[in-house]
Structures are given as C-alpha cells and as structure tokens.
C-alpha cells in the first residue's frame, strides 16, 4: 500500500494510510480505521442505475466517490471503480448484467453452467494453464477479459482521484485460488463430485495452474505495486468442505498464494466469506503482522481475535442482514462490541463482505461514525 | 438398530457399492420399496453425520448423487412412493434471484428423506407459490435466496400466500447465504434453516416423522 499512483499524497491521505498501516501490523492507531466495499449501495445512494454502473468504469468511480463523500470520514475503500463483468475471470463464467440480461435494477449474477468438462483437467496439464485459459477466454470470457483490460486502463486514474481526496484505495488486484476457477467453470455440483470421483485429475490440474500462477502473481505485484491484494475464499470456505478435502484441495494453495503476496511486499487481503471457524487456527501458519482477515459475519470474529490477535489484522464484520434490516441502535451496539473486543489494536472496521445494495443509509452512517474517537 | 449393508454403504459414501447392492437386491427379487427405504436409511446416516460435524456440504452433495444413481433402477417404486410420501414441500428460489445450487441441494436431501418435492425452479413469481400449494396440497414451503436484495420479494411471496388464504395451511422455511432469523421474521417465514440438513430436521419435525 506504500506507493499509490496519482498525484502526491495529501496530509489526510498520509494520516489515514498511517492509521491503516498501524492496524495491519497489529498495532493500535490513533483511532480504529474503516474501509468499505461499495458498488450497488453507492448506486442507490447516488441514484445511479446498476446498468450504467456496470457499463462504464468512470460512472462506477464517480458513483463510489459520491457515496463516500456523503458518508463522511472514511479512511479507505477496497476498490475505487468496478466492472462486475470481471468476476467472470474468477469463476470462469460469464456474468448476467443488469440492463442487458437482467432488469436495470437487478443485481448482477453469475451465469454458472458446466463449461469445463472432465477431460479439461488433462488438457490443462498437457497444454499448461495459460494456453488452455487463453482458449477458454476466447470461447466464454471475452467480456470479462475486456472488463479486466478496461480496469487496468482506467483504475489508476480513479485511484488518483480518491488519493487526492485523502482516501486510501486498499486493493490493487486479486489473486485467485485454482479451486475457485475450476469450481466456477465446472459448477459446484459437478466439481464436488469430481473431488470424490477423480481427485487425482483435479489435483493435477490445480498444480498445473499453480505452476504458472506463482510467477504470474509475482509479476503482477511487481508491475502494479505493493498494494493490498485480495486472496478470496468463497467456495473454498471450510464450512463447505470436509477437513480431508480442504486439507488437500484448498489450504496448501491458499497458504502458498498468501506467502507469495507477502514475499513481494504486498498486503494479502484475506477476503473470506462463509464460516471459517473450524480452521481459524490455521491462519497462524500465515506470515505474521502482514495479512488482513476480512470476514462476512458468518465467521466468529470475536473468537478469531482471541486466536489471531497480535498475529493478523482483522476486518469486518457488520452482517449484511443487520445493515439492511436492523436498526441504527443495533448497528451501533454491534460496532461498539467490535471496537471493544476485536479492536482497538489490529482491527479495521468494515461491513461483512461488501456493502449490501439495500443497506439503510443511516445504518451505514452509524457504522462509519462508530470509529470516531475509538 | 444396525443399518443394512445398503444403508451403511450410502452412509459411508460408497457409490459403486451402493449401486451394486441395489442391483443384487432387485435381482434377488426384493421389493423395490423396501430397497428404497434402505437407501433413505443411508441418507439418514449421512444427515446424522452432517449434524455431528463429521460430514460437510461436500459429503451431502456426494451422498445426494449416490442416492440418485443407486435409486435409478427404482423409478417406478419412487413414483409409487410419491403417493405415500411423508409430506410435500413446494421449493424454489424467490423472484429476481437465479441462484439454484442451495435450493437444489435442499431438494435432494429432502426427497431422499421421503419428502415429495415440488421444485418451482428459480426466479419464482409470488403467485406460482400459491398455485403450487393449491395443486399439490403441500403443507411445507421452502424459499431460497442468495441476495439480500430479494428480502422484499420473499416477503411479497409470503404475503401472497397469506392473501390467498393459505398461510395457516403451510409452514414456510427459508434458507440461503444472507438469510438469518432476523430475515425470517422480516419476511414472515416460520423457520430459518442454516443448512439443507436443517431443512430436513425442521420438515420432519413439522410432519411428525422421525
């Protein structure tokens, strides 16, 4: 996070960056920092159609910036602008987008179908990940690749816009687990079956992916800079897999990817959805005082603090249902508990996962304001 | 009671073993319904192990497929058993949400536990719930969603069932990623099910079967 692109940092940016850096290294800042992920919530705040947000990165950047300014003193956002079509590159599936495939006010959704066939495991091993993936992109993911290229082109300008206003843009890219790729292209049902019926084929393909991903990850970080990098866990959460499967197909790759990002001097942002309670102790195996664990409300973050405190910065986890259905008093009470029990050292206030589109503005504002003086 | 070899094979996730035992039993002239009951007994073992934390969603998915494949030769028996199912549930993903995985795994474990499933698919219009309840006589409704944005659609579906005068005749279960007890109260459902297996436990309890 040390070298953001754009104009020279202003004092407010430096103050907020210092606050975040202290928290990430498990120290106690002058107050607890806050970092948000906003997309469709920002649309609703600013009166922007989801379809317009999805179609134009400048619209998305302007929308997020506008919503941020309405919320007040926010140290950081995870992303300055966003093109949802790019999610196709994580789960190897095209996205259904509002205004085109879905109503204008509908949330984008993954169009998950069986696109990877069982014989593709062998093909990935034989061809290598890059050539196989290149073919696959040509067949299914042209739009996702174009969204990725557009983000590469336009995101730096928006990072600069935020930085100029004193806001730290935390994330520069994603480092995706091979499991998420294959599971998305194969579907959860079929991929889970493969774990039982052809585990060696799956493992060989995952190793072939990793063989290239190691160097690709290093090169990406060296090219973009040592920002935060999302290493997400969605389908790989321990909640979904038995320990035997998880130990074989998830953790070794996850651990190595985190170590690579850390070795390159960047911050591994462990964006872990679903419940990680069963394996939370395993995170002690990851580099100390370098990672940020961001959970979505399903992992017991209070217990996680007892186990990981001093080893890893924690972030989150005001639950989506509370932000959408709860009252301001409920949000305040939950935030107070987070600040007291998970903070103030090594902690970043945040929503669980990303801001729900229909979160009540007053609830989000209560969460933002909760860190003042804490 | 000691489970049969077939039930144990399903419970132990032995796919080939389960399929060959079904064939053996049918070749020996055993009643298809009796064989089906043993397969369902195997799914009960799976459910017990899930609740005990020994099995996870991965094992539920695999077990569901084992059941589906092993019971393939029993389709006539399954059709006959539909008339004697312990109960019927209308299942679907609510309007404006196209996620089907959670709904599908719930349907698999419910049906393999002897509950007839009327699957309405995804993006289900509120009125479709009413039509399906009327046509099937279901006493259970299972609504699934993955998006917080469809809480209101789920609430509308419940209200539509109520407006049709059916609310007192059905128990409404909800489940899916963002769902909580609070969401259940908001939409007017009766039970929040954290997992597909929770749905089986709740449904069986409501239907009065063990």
Tens digit of pLDDT at every position of chain B (210 positions): 788 999 999 999 999 999 999 999 999 999 888 998 899 899 989 989 998 999 998 998 999 999 989 999 988 777 776 667 889 999 999 998 888 888 988 998 898 888 999 999 999 999 999 999 999 999 999 999 988 888 999 999 999 999 999 999 999 999 998 888 999 999 999 999 988 889 999 999 999 986
Which CATH number covers residue B14? Answer: 1.10.1240.10
ipTM of predicted assembly, 2 dp = 0.89
Tell me the nearest-neighbour CA distance from B18 into chain A, angstroms.
15
Per-residue pLDDT tens for A34-73?
A: 999 999 999 999 999 999 999 999 999 999 999 999 999 9
Is B171 in the same domain as B152? yes
Residue B187's closest chain A neighbor by CA? A325
Is B16 in the same domain as B45? yes
Tell me the nearest-neighbour CA distance from B210 into chain A, angstroms.
26
Q: For residue B61, which residues of chain A lie inside 8 Å, CB to CB?
A: 188-189, 192-193
The mean per-residue pLDDT over the stretch A226-255 comes to 96
Point out the domain boundary residue: B27, B57, B80.
Answer: B80
Is B90 in the same domain as B42? no
Per-residue pLDDT tens for B44-59?
A: 899 899 989 999 989 9
Is B22 in the same domain as B60? yes
Is B69 in the same domain as B128? no
Q: Using beta carbons and an 8 Å cutoff, which residues of B are at the interface with A?
A: 13, 15, 54-59, 61-62, 65, 96-99, 101, 104, 147-149, 151, 177-180, 182-183, 186
Is B123 in the same domain as B74? no
Is B132 in the same domain as B101? yes
Is B68 in the same domain as B108? no
Is B76 in the same domain as B101? no
Phi first, then psi: give them for residue B155, nearest 5 degrees.
-60, -40
Residue A319 contacts B, CB cutoff 8 Å: yes
Domains of chain B: total: 2
- One DSSP character per residue, B49-91 reads HHHTTSS-HHHHHHHHHHHHHHTGGGHHHHHHHHTT-SEEEEE
Domains in chain A with CATH codes: 11-370 (3.20.20.210)
Give the number of A-B residue pairs with CB atoms closer than 8 Å.
73
Rg (CA), chain B: 17
Q: What's the whole-model pTM score? A: 0.90
Is B120 in the same domain as B161? yes
Which CATH number covers residue B178? Answer: 3.40.50.280
**Residues spanned by the domain of B142:** 85-207
């Amino acid at each position: 996070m040390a070298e953001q692109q754009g104009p020279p940092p202003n004092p407010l940016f430096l103050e907020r960056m210092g606050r975040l850096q202290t928290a990430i290294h498990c120290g106690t800042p002058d107050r607890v920092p806050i970092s948000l992920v906003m997309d469709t919530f920002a649309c609703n705040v600013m009166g922007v159609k989801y379809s317009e947000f999805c179609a134009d990165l400048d619209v998305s950047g302007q929308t997020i910036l506008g919503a941020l300014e309405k919320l007040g003193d926010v140290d950081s956002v995870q992303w300055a602008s966003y093109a949802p079509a790019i999610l196709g590159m994580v789960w190897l599936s095209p996205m259904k987008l509002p205004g085109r495939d879905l109503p204008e006010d509908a949330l984008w959704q993954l169009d998950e179908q069986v696109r990877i066939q069982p014989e593709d495991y062998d093909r990935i091993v034989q061809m290598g990940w890059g050539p196989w993936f290149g073919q696959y992109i040509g067949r299914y993911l042209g739009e996702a690749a174009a969204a990725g290229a557009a983000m590469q082109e336009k995101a730096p300008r928006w990072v600069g816009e935020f930085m100029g206003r004193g806001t730290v843009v935390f994330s520069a890219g994603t480092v995706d687990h091979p499991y998420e790729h294959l599971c998305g292209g194969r579907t959860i049902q079929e991929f889970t079956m493969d774990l039982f019926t052809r585990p060696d084929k799956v493992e060989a393909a995952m190793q072939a992916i990793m063989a290239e991903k190691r160097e690709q990850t290093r090169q990406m970080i060296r090219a973009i800079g040592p920002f935060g990098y999302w290493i997400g866990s969605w389908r790989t959460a321990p909640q979904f897999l038995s320990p035997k499967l998880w130990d074989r197909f998830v953790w070794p790759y996850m651990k190595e990817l985190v170590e690579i990002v850390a070795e390159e001097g960047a911050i591994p942002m462990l964006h872990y959805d679903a419940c990680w309670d069963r394996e939370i102790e395993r995170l002690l195996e990851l580099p100390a005082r370098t990672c940020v664990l961001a959970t979505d409300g399903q992992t017991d973050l209070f217990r996680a603090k007892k186990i990981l405190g001093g080893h890893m910065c924690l972030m989150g986890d005001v639950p989506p249902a509370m932000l959408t259905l709860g009252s301001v008093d409920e949000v305040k009470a939950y935030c107070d508990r987070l600040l007291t029990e998970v903070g103030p050292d090594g902690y970043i206030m945040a929503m669980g996962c990303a801001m729900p589109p229909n979160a009540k503005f007053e609830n989000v504002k209560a969460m933002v304001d909760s860190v003042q003086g804490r | 009671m000691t489970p049969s070899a077939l039930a144990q094979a399903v419970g132990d996730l032995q796919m080939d073993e389960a399929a060959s035992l079904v064939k053996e039993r049918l070749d020996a002239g055993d009643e298809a319904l009796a064989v089906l009951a043993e397969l369902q007994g195997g799914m009960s073992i799976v459910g017990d192990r899930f609740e005990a934390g020994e099995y996870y969603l991965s094992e539920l998915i695999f077990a569901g497929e084992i059941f589906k494949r092993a019971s393939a030769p029993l389709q006539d028996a399954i059709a006959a058993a539909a008339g004697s199912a312990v109960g019927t549930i209308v299942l679907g993903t609510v309007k404006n949400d196209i996620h089907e995985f959670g709904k599908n795994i719930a349907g698999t474990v419910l049906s393999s536990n002897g509950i007839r499933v009327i699957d309405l698919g995804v993006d289900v219009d509120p009125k479709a719930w009413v039509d399906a309840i009327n046509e099937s006589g279901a006493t259970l409704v299972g609504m699934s969603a993955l998006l917080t944005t469809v809480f209101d659609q789920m609430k509308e579906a419940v209200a539509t069932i109520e407006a049709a005068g059916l609310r007192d005749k059905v128990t409404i279960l909800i489940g899916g990623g963002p769902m909580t007890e609070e969401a259940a109260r908001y939409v007017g459902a009766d039970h929040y099910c954290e997992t597909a297996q929770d749905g089986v436990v709740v449904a069986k309890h409501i239907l009065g079967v063990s």
